Amino acid sequence: MELGIIGRISKGSKMDQIYIPKNRLNEGLSAGSYVLIKPFALADSDKVRRESSEKPILYGLLKIPSIKLYLAKEILKVIEQNSDNLDNVIITGSFFSEGFNFNDIDLLIISEKEQKKEKLKTILEERFGVTFHIIQLTKSELIGGLASDPLYENMLSRCIAKKRIVFNIKRNINPKLLDFHLLKSKALIDNFDMLNGRDKYYLTKNMVAILLFIEGKKVSNKSINESIKKLFDIEQSRIEDNLIEKKEFLVKYKKIHQKVFNLIMNSFKKEKDYDGSK
């Protein structure tokens, strides 16, 4: 099998260039070494799907570059060859962000049998030259996460899975879990000046995801970013680029944070009243 790293030609002012990951593990690709560059032949996405004996399932991805679809299929193939008794494999995270600038690939391995994650991680990173983050869950843990954790719902709102995922799960408001997640977002209030734009966006996104979850609304990147624009009157990209006015933003942020906190506390009270009535 021929090993290598897939890169993409970027247009430069004087010379075009190809970017490859710094943490590459392939032999013969050290800085200063000579390499052969040749086109990477890809079929269009429709042909790639037809050639698959078992089609991967796409969620929240109306359009995906054929190179990413090809990579996803190859990743699923390598996992299947080096694992045992898998119920499902889910690829998610920044891999599906626009462009080809993802830093890592997030994997959910669904299996009742404990898998050798470190060995699988090494195999994948040597094969593809990208960092992999692997989480193993049982079916019941995945269902429980989707029912009670907005982060799970957001994570799986845009993904590729080997098999179908069951999403019609009744939500279970877990005040302790939501309070724990909200506590992370308080860091923006206390450390605004020390955080970069990406950190500020992540903490804002986390808070808004909890709000949508409690209100019974869909939790996805699209719904979160639409809510951020509505609540803060600012595009998500402005937050990521750290182009926000501190005083105005924090006034709105504190107000929304308090609202989410009150909703969680009300859930605590309802849960306590319910337990007391039994």
- Give the model confidence (pLDDT) of 82-132 as tens digits: 988 899 999 998 888 776 667 789 999 999 988 888 999 999 999 988 899
Q: How far is CA 161 from CA 107, 116, 117, 146, 191, in A?
A: 10, 20, 18, 15, 37
With tokens 């909200």, the residue in question is 182
Classify residue 223 as exposed, middle or buried by CB count within 10 Å of its CB (0-12, 13-18, 19+).
middle
Task: Report the range out of 29-43, 121-135, 247-261 with the highest average pLDDT.
Answer: 247-261
Provide CB contacts within 8 A for 123, sequence distance 6+. 78, 82
Sign of CA dihedral 153, 157, 158, 160: positive
Between residues 81 and 48, which one has the greater pLDDT?
A: 81
Retrieve residue 16's tokens: 């075009």
Provide the mean pLDDT of the chain. Answer: 84
Please name every residue paired with 17 in a beta bridge, in sequence order, or none if there are none. Answer: 10
For the entire predicted model, the pTM comes to 0.74
Retrieve residue 210's tokens: 């909890």
H-helix or E-strand containing 124?
A: helix 117-128
∠ CA 230-159-129 to the nearest 5 degrees?
115
Residue 191: the pLDDT is 95
Sign of CA dihedral 262, 177, 191, 228: negative
Of 60-64, 68-72, 174-178, 222-226, minimum mean pLDDT range: 60-64
Between residues 14 and 240, which one has the greater pLDDT?
A: 240
Q: How far is CA 168 from CA 120, 219, 223, 251, in A?
A: 31, 14, 18, 37
Retrieve residue 202's tokens: 């992540």
Provide CB contacts within 8 A for 109, sequence distance 6+. 79, 83, 86, 89, 115, 117, 120, 134, 135, 136, 137
Please give the Cα distance from 227 to 234 (Å, whole number): 10
Domains in the chain and their CATH numbers?
41-161 (3.30.460.10), 175-277 (no CATH)
Residue 216: the pLDDT is 93
Tens-place pLDDT, residues 50-89: 444 467 889 988 888 888 889 999 999 999 999 888 999 9
Residue 17: the pLDDT is 76
H-helix or E-strand containing 207?
A: helix 197-214
